[in-house]
């Protein structure tokens, strides 16, 4: 298989999960199985681990040892946004899971596979679908979206400073031909890029990938399902790689919603589903970054599911 993906913050994630040998756990982003392999090593025969991934290669990675040898392991080929639905099919109901881990973003394997179209470092089809069965490729997004929509994607998802200029350049390119390959997009970007070239390309490719896969919408759906599935005292651990994801996770752990606005009941009580395990995000050590440069931007946050989500009254009368 080769090196599929070196998991970031492995020890930190396992510690935050507080694994029990007979517990029920979820690795919501299986990938190459690095985190899942480490979790499984901590479980007894009674322990259960459900692993989700929508990528075909990830499913193949789950077929060998040690996964095939553990009766409590189950791989599910699915987007983690449908977590609750798939676990229900395996007899796992709300409030019964002891720990859920999600390692967000795109895997090293996906980045290094030219025909997947995730990276500007290789020329290949402009695809970017994490699930190859999804309808629209990145090329189709670029060829079919309005100039205003492209500007919004580049601005909101990539924080591209000259998003309007780039969107206009994409529309001009379409008038002559159609986007087909990563080289087409790189060519357009290089006409209008500002600042560091590599950073600019990374922002543009990230923006398009997030749009193609509805990554932020999927993350919010996942967090909602995870909150319902966790038992009181259960841990939610999320590793993110850019500020848009990290902000959503931070808000969710603090307030139980993606906007970060505290929810109050009729009496003014603040509802919080989680106690923070990490006050600030945990980041990789310099030693880990030297060993795995792609871990540089990783940030891990964790929360413990509270049995009672009502805290104290606000401005009691």
pLDDT tens-digit series, residues 23-50: 999 999 999 999 999 999 999 999 999 9
Phi-psi region of 18 (alpha: psi -120 to 50; beta: other; left: phi over 0): left
Q: Compute the half-sphere exposure of residue 69: CA atoms within 13 Å on the CB side of its CA.
A: 8
Tell me the pTM. Answer: 0.91
The answer on pLDDT for 8 being more than 70 is: yes
Helix (H, G, I), strand (E, B) or coil at 97: strand
Q: Tell me 134's DSSP state.
A: S
Domains and CATH numbers, the chain: 10-108+215-313 (3.40.50.150), 116-213 (1.10.150.170)
Phi, then psi, of 135 in degrees rounded to 5:
-75, -50
Q: How far apart are CA 303 and CA 306, in angstroms?
A: 9
The band of 1, judged by pLDDT with boundaries at 50, 70 and 90, is very low
Residue 211's Cβ-side half-sphere holds a number of Cα atoms within 13 Å equal to: 25
Tell me what pLDDT residue 134 has.
Answer: 78
Structure tokens at 119: 């990276």
Give the span between the Cα atoms of 168 and 230, in whole angstroms. 46
Q: Which two structure tokens, joined as six digits, stand for 265?
A: 């009941």
Q: Token pair of 52, please?
A: 């989700």
Per-residue pLDDT, 215: 93
Q: Each residue of 62-107: pLDDT tens digit?
A: 998 899 999 999 999 999 999 999 999 999 999 999 999 999 976 5
Judge whether residue 255 has pLDDT over 50: yes
Compute the chain's Rg from CA coordinates: 21
Name the burial class of residue 69, with classes exposed (0-12), middle (13-18) and buried (19+) by CB atoms within 10 angstroms of its CB. exposed
How many whole angstroms separate alpha carbon 54 and alpha carbon 60? 11
pLDDT digits (tens, 9 = 90+) for 158-187: 999 999 999 999 999 999 999 999 999 999
């Amino acid at each position: 298989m080769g090196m599929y993906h070196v998991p970031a913050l492995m020890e930190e994630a396992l510690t935050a999960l507080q694994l029990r040998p007979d517990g029920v756990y979820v690795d919501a982003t299986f990938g190459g199985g690095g985190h899942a392999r480490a979790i499984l090593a901590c479980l007894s025969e009674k322990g259960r681990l459900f692993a989700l991934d929508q990528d075909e290669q990830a499913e193949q990675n789950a077929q060998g040892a040690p996964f095939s040898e553990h009766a409590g392991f189950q791989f599910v080929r699915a987007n983690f946004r449908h977590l609750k639905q798939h676990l229900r099919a395996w007899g796992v109901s709300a409030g019964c899971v002891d720990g859920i881990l999600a390692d967000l973003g795109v895997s090293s394997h996906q980045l290094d596979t030219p025909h997947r179209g995730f990276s500007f470092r290789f020329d290949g089809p402009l695809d970017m679908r994490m699930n190859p069965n999804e309808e629209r490729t990145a090329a189709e997004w670029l060829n079919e979206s309005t100039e205003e929509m492209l500007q919004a994607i580049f601005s909101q998802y990539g924080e591209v400073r000259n998003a309007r200029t780039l969107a206009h350049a994409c529309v001009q390119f379409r008038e002559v031909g159609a986007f087909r390959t990563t080289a087409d997009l790189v060519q357009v970007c290089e006409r209008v890029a500002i600042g560091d070239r590599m950073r600019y390309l990374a922002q543009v490719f990230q923006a398009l990938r997030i749009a193609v896969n509805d990554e932020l919408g999927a993350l919010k759906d996942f967090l909602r399902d995870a909150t319902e599935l966790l038992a009181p005292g259960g841990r939610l651990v999320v590793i993110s790689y850019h500020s848009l994801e990290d902000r959503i996770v931070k808000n969710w752990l603090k307030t139980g919603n993606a906007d970060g606005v505290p929810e109050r009941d009729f009496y003014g009580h603040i509802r919080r589903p989680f106690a923070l395990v990490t006050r600030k995000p945990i980041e990789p050590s310099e030693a880990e970054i030297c060993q795995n440069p792609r871990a540089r931007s990783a940030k891990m946050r964790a929360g413990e599911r509270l049995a009672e989500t009502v805290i104290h009254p606000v401005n009691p009368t």
